[in-house]
Amino acid sequence: MTTPPASKATAAIDGETSVNLTLEDRLRIFWEKNSKAVLGVVVLVLVAVVAKGGWEYMQAQKETEIEHDYASAISTDALKTFAAKNSGHSLAGIAKLRVADDAYASGLYAEAISGYENAIPALKDPALVSRAKLGAAMSKLQAGKPEGEAALKAIASDTSEIKAVRVEAAYHLASLASSQGKAADVRKYASEIMGIDPTSPWTQRAFMLSATLPVEPEAVGSVKIPIK
């Protein structure tokens, strides 16, 4: 007795090569062969997604904690502790800048110089870096160090610096010249300030400062009288 031939569907499934395989048959065969590998990939993807989400959550929590600690650091000692604990964070640089500002306001210019110079490499914002440079220059000037004036001149003449910082540095140079009775230098710095930013409040202050000084004899002699 001969065995009846298998149906076309059965032959297709057993042979796995028949053109009569339906899409459903092909998917079932693929799943039977690759289910473990597919499930493994799915598990790895899920683990990666969960791990990434967990890491991002931990980072967000850490950032929130750092911001809270910074907001709570009111005293100079607390700011110093915060900066030491969170070295490398942008807020640590700002904390160092505030410590330097406190020292300057208290007339502790040696500490202010050190504070500003330590803050500069820790600051991420170029505007804050410029302010720290200006603070260091002013601290040196107040401490009677000759390099303070040189530092202010370097800032005022640096076209890559922020205009507001350049103008303020030039004004302090004008103020220094005024205290030394150098009217010509005051007017020179006032003109430089006008060229940097004519709308700055420092510009108005510089010209008000120059207006209070007498005209030097050489300045009068240098005025050319037009020939009629």
The residue with tokens 């100079």 is 76
Mean pLDDT of 170-182: 93
pLDDT in tens, 110-160: 999 999 999 999 998 999 999 999 999 999 999 999 899 999 999 999 999
Among candidates 186, 185, 192, 223, which has minimal Cα distance to 208? 186
As to burial, measured by CB atoms within 10 angstroms (0-12 exposed, 13-18 middle, 19+ buried), residue 19 is exposed
pLDDT given for residue 212 in this prediction:
82
The residue with tokens 């240098």 is 222
pLDDT given for residue 222 in this prediction:
42
pLDDT in tens, 9-52: 444 444 445 557 787 777 777 777 777 777 777 667 776 666 66
pLDDT given for residue 66 in this prediction:
83
Domain boundaries, the chain: 76-143, 146-214
CA distances 169 to 67, 150, 154, 191, Å, are: 32, 11, 9, 13
Amino acid at 60: A
Task: Count other C-beta atoms under 10 Å from residue 131's C-beta.
Answer: 22
pLDDT in tens, 49-78: 666 666 555 656 777 888 888 888 889 999
For the chain, give the number of residues: 228
CA distances 88 to 122, 130, 139, Å, are: 7, 19, 25
pLDDT given for residue 197 in this prediction:
94
- This prediction's pTM: 0.66
Mean pLDDT of 160-180: 95
Where helices occur in 106-162 by DSSP H, the ranges are 109-119, 126-142, 147-157
Task: Count other C-beta atoms under 10 Å from residue 39's C-beta.
Answer: 10
